[in-house]
Amino acid sequence: MIDQFQEIMDTLKKNKLRTTLTGLSVSWGIFILIILLGAGNGLRNGVMQNFSSRAVNRINLWSGTTSLPHNGLKSGRRLMFAENELTAISDQVEESRLITARYNTNQTITYGTEYGSYGFRGVMPSYYDIEKLIIPPGKGRFINEIDMKEKNKVIVLDQKIADVLFRNEEPLGKMVRAGQVMFKVVGINTKKEEWGGSNAYIPFSTAQAIYNPQRKFWQVTFTVDGLTTESQNDRFNESLRGMMGQHLNFNPEDQQALYIHNAQSDYVETMKIFSGITLFVTIIGILTLIAGIVGVSNIMLVSVKERTREIGIRKAIGATPMAILKTIILESIIITTLFGYIGMIIGVGLTELINYFMEQAANGKPVTDEQQMSIFTNPTVDIGYALFATIVLIIAGVIAGYLPARKAVRVQPIEAMRQE
């Protein structure tokens, strides 16, 4: 086996230029495959990061204005939710899990001489998990059920608000004024808002009592389980619209009366798109690799033609067809694997370099003012793709060497030795 390998290496060294040019076509094919897969991963990771910033299985409802008459009522009615709708969703929607009403407004928040106008949200305790807020140890807590029951005047601030109002002071336990009402700071949320801006959060019951005496609101968010396909989500949206139509007295066909954003449906559709992109990228990469394999096969045919006399002599002195077949195929595998790994190393190195510079650029951005949405993150290739590429290279070497090897096996010793 060692002698056979040495013979193959001697043959490759004799034709360095041809071997190099042949191998470069394989290197280029693997390089393109790795770059395409890395780019696909980067796009997928960026979108997945955006999905993971909130509960993927959330449903957002916004009440709207009717555009169709219904049950003797004219169009143009402004619809609003009440606590009855929250109860109905919790009790009648089997798939529902966490739920929160939302009262959204803006308030000027003041501490001492510092103040600013910020988003002001009345929410329920489950809002924390739905929106995946982050309150690290030592940063207090979020709104709880006791706050809701007792309508406590407590407030949770985004980190940016705390930095502006308190500067170097410890905010926990301090009192801030929102409009004309004093609130006690009980927690600091360190999660950055995706679209910029900052918010303060108070118990929904407190917001209703102080700022919203009509007790009407226009947004509800809840999570669902068990909706894993596009058809399931479509049926759920239709059923939910019908149920809400009964409660709010509007035509379920009236799209402007109720707006439904099903994040789970968006997630399912996005994953289908990325599955298609991954398949497309893989096919393009493999086709590029096949072009390199064809080049290797052609060069191996030329090599066999040039070595016809040598092969004939080897057969004449006792070399078996299987030994000659193995030698030619092994030579092809060595070329494709060696140069394939060169292309793989360069491709992986380039994706890692791009990822490094992207991380450095992200770390250099201000964390409070920039938009935090990302569409391209970690464009690298994992070990699974490297193993896949290794298998492809070995198969490619066998395919590229098989036809030339068959041609070599069929060489007749007498005819071969007649050739110069």
Give the whole-angstrom CA distance, residue 321 versus residue 240.
Answer: 72
If you average pLDDT over residues 203-214, what whole number do you get? 94
In the numeric block, which tokens belong to residue 74?
Answer: 């004219």
Residue whose pair of structure tokens reads 């230029």 in the numeric block: 17
If you average pLDDT over residues 221-241, what whole number do you get? 94
Query: Is the per-residue pLDDT at 417 higher than 70?
Result: no
Query: Is the per-residue pLDDT at 27 higher than 90?
Result: no
The pLDDT assigned to 367 comes to 41
Q: At what angle do helices 16-52 and 383-409 cross, to 10 degrees?
A: 150
Alpha helix positions (H), 253-320: 263-306, 308-316
Give the whole-angstrom CA distance, residue 396 versus residue 319.
Answer: 26
Residue 299 sits at the vertex; the CA angle it makes with 295 and 303, to the nearest 5 degrees, is 165
What are the domain boundaries of the chain? 2-53+268-418, 58-263
Residue 397: in which H helix or E strand, if any? Answer: helix 383-409
Integer Rg of the chain from CA: 34
Residue 366 pLDDT grade (very low, low, confident, very high; cuts 50, 70, 90): very low
The percentage of the chain sitting over the pLDDT mark of 90, rounded to a whole number, equals: 46
CA 82, 83, 85, 86 torsion-angle sign: positive
The pLDDT assigned to 368 comes to 40
Of 272 and 67, which is predicted with more confidence? 67
Query: Is the per-residue pLDDT at 372 higher than 70?
Result: no
Query: Is the per-residue pLDDT at 144 higher than 90?
Result: yes
Per residue in 32-49, pLDDT tens?
878 888 887 787 777 777
Give the whole-angstrom CA distance, residue 257 versus residue 253.
Answer: 9
Per residue in 339-358, pLDDT tens?
888 888 888 888 888 877 87
Per residue in 275-309, pLDDT tens?
888 788 778 877 776 777 777 777 777 777 777 77
Query: Is the per-residue pLDDT at 112 higher than 50?
Result: yes
The pLDDT assigned to 205 comes to 96
Per residue in 45-88, pLDDT tens?
777 776 777 888 999 999 999 999 999 999 999 999 999 999 99
In the numeric block, which tokens belong to residue 338?
Answer: 């060696």
If you average pLDDT over residues 193-214, what whole number do you get? 89
Per residue in 329-342, pLDDT tens?
787 788 778 888 88
Average confidence score pLDDT of the chain: 84
Give the whole-angstrom CA distance, residue 67 versus residue 76.
Answer: 6
The pLDDT assigned to 155 comes to 98
Residue 416 pLDDT grade (very low, low, confident, very high; cuts 50, 70, 90): low
